[in-house]
Amino acid sequence: MYRFINEKGEHLHTLDGKPLIGTSTVVGVMAKPLTWWAAGLAVKELGWIRKADPRKATRSECEENDKERMRAAIDRLDAYKMMYAGDYIKLLDKAYRAHADSLTKSADKGTDMHADLGAC
């Protein structure tokens, strides 16, 4: 039996006494990591290199990563100085779309994989 419980400003949907998980709950849980992922793809287009995690990398790996990040930033700044405004706008647009382009590529790979598995 379906029930809707609304107590203390929070609501719960249940079926046979078991809670139902709604779309907004799932999206709320997924949104946080997806926001970081999308932001990372955008700034990667602008030359960003992920910072090494000191919990997973050695001290020397972290120091080398810092140097690599600084070199990349300097190189990118030099390239931006030579860029026309229209080209810079195109780069920003590409960064803005980076997460959508990645999702499209992943969806295409998934479709291809399902097609391959169906042929077995």
- Predicted confidence (pLDDT) per residue in 75-109, tens digit: 999 999 999 999 999 999 999 999 988 888 877 77
- Predicted confidence (pLDDT) per residue in 17-30, tens digit: 898 887 766 666 66
Question: pLDDT value at position 24?
Answer: 66
Write 41-44 long-range contacts (CB < 8 A, 24+). 41/98, 41/99, 41/102, 42/95, 42/96, 42/98, 42/99, 43/95, 44/98
Domain that holds residue 7: 2-118
Question: pLDDT value at position 5?
Answer: 84
Tally of domains in the chain: 1
Regarding pTM above 0.75, the answer is no
Question: pLDDT value at position 91?
Answer: 94
